[in-house]
Amino acid sequence: QVQLVESGGGLVQAGDSLRLSCAASGRTFSTYTMGWFRQAPGKEREFVAYISWSGYTYYADSVKGRFTISRDNAKNTVSLQMNDLKPEDTAVYYCAADPTRSNTDYRTYNYWGRGTQVTVSS
């Protein structure tokens, strides 16, 4: 089985930083694209960032230059370093895994964590 568990969320002030982590378990990990998504109250789930098996990264325009996604295949983890947080970053953040392709569409991701809350006050 494959399981993803997020951690690192919390309550911070605008301009602060947080680092989210996602621990993965299962037979394979290194070949998966790993993504971060978020969902704010009253809004659809939106793409944040992904990192491919080869280390290629891609970011939503709203977080580009502020967030950094990384992975450690030896430890089966993926992280999201979030700097200069803004109130509009407030959401539940989910990590997800796609074993076949890299995409910004949440519907292509096969495995999901349960989410971690990030709240940014102004």
Q: Is the pLDDT of residue 106 over 70?
A: yes
Q: Please name every residue paired with 5 in a beta bridge, in sequence order, or none if there are none.
A: 23
Tokens, residue 10:
């919390």
Grade residue 116 by pLDDT with cuts at 50, 70 and 90: very high
Q: Give the pLDDT score at 31.
A: 83
Q: Give the pLDDT score at 101.
A: 80
Of residues 1 and 93, the one with the higher pLDDT is 93
Q: Is the pLDDT of residue 2 over 90?
A: no
Kindly report the average pLDDT of the chain as a whole number: 93
